[in-house]
Amino acid sequence: MITIKNEAQIEGMRKAGKLLYEVLSTVRKAVVPGISTMELNDLAEKLIRDGGATPSFLGYEGYPASLCTSIDEVVVHGIPSEDTILQEGSLISMDCGLCLNGWQADSALTVGVGRISDRDRELIETTEACFFAGARQAVAGKRLGDIGSAVESLAHEHGFSVVRDLSGHGIGRDMHEDPYVYNFGFAGCGLPMRKGMTIAIEPMVCMGDWHVETDEEDGWCVRTRDGLKASHYEHTIAIFEDRLPEILTLPGFVWKEEE
């Protein structure tokens, strides 16, 4: 079901989004060669609880942690472990969700561990730019295909591919609400957006081919089939009629005029 939020409800989501922004901002600073992904998870969980919220991922369909830590060829849903130690030159995506006073926030970002290659840096920056290109389309009256098409074309311009098996989603009182928000599609096609919709847009962009496989052992970890690196970037946003969306998990963000 698609739920439309009023201003008071969006204010609830804004508070959740702000807390999640603070959590991820602190956790990203802790990324250094030698730290384990479990330490990052524990830090995220502590900050969520200190903020009066609960970690949304923990226990979600049996997921065992509060943070997803996805390294290099792992696209999403990497499970943190004491034995997974960050190595210089890797890419790590950190995806986190929390629930504050009944409202969900969901956000992910990818950073380099120490020094990374120029092409890896381009992968991270393009994934972020894909999010903003898609989010710029998120205005009442436009369609979901406008978002997907904007994300996909920018990734292709840089010679990257976009994962097709996973998508963004509506979000509100539940972490995953309707509709699916695909990272590909046709401009002018798909569901028209409405004022008060809140969605998570989350491009997953690959260095090589977009095909992915889920780890059979843990049932979560999603890897590129070709073993090449991938990057993930996600924010929860609120859609309006007369202006560009508000990025709830990036408080203070102001849209610039398009060049």
In 3D, which of 255, 118, 140 has the Cα closest to residue 194?
Answer: 140
Residue 49 Cβ, how far from Co ion at the closest point, in Å? 21
Q: Applying CB under 6 A, does 68 fall inside the site for ligand MF3?
A: yes
Q: Does 253 bind ligand MF3 (CB under 6 A)?
A: no
Question: Binders of ligand MF3: how many residues, by CB under 6 A?
Answer: 13
State yes or no: cis peptide before 33, omega within 30 of 0: no
The span from the CA of 224 to the CA of 247, in Å, is 29
- 95: partner contacted, choices ligand MF3, Co ion, none (Cβ within 5-8 A by kind): ligand MF3
Q: Which of 63, 85, 139, 195 binds ligand MF3 (CB under 6 A)?
A: 63
Neighbours of 248 (CB within 10 A): 27
Q: Which is nearer to Co ion, 227 or 248 (CB)?
A: 248
Chain centroid, CA 143 distance in Å: 20
If one asks whether residue 95 binds ligand MF3 (CB under 6 A), the answer comes out as yes
Dihedral, CA of residue 2, residue 137, residue 160 and residue 40, to nearest 10? -60
Q: Which is nearer to ligand MF3, 61 or 216 (CB)?
A: 61
Residue 177 binds ligand MF3 (CB under 6 A): no
Q: Which is nearer to ligand MF3, 68 or 197 (CB)?
A: 68
How does strand 222-224 pair with strand 168-170? unpaired
Stretch that binds ligand MF3, among 55-63, 118-126, 143-151, 182-190 (CB under 6 A): 55-63
3 vs 166: CA distance, rounded Å: 21
Tokens read off for 228: 């090449």
**Contact criterion met (CB below 8 Å) for 38 and 104:** no
- Examine residue 180 and tell whether it contacts ligand MF3 (CB under 6 A): no
Contact positions toward ligand MF3, by CB under 6 A? 57, 60-61, 63, 68, 77, 95, 97, 106, 169, 200, 202, 234
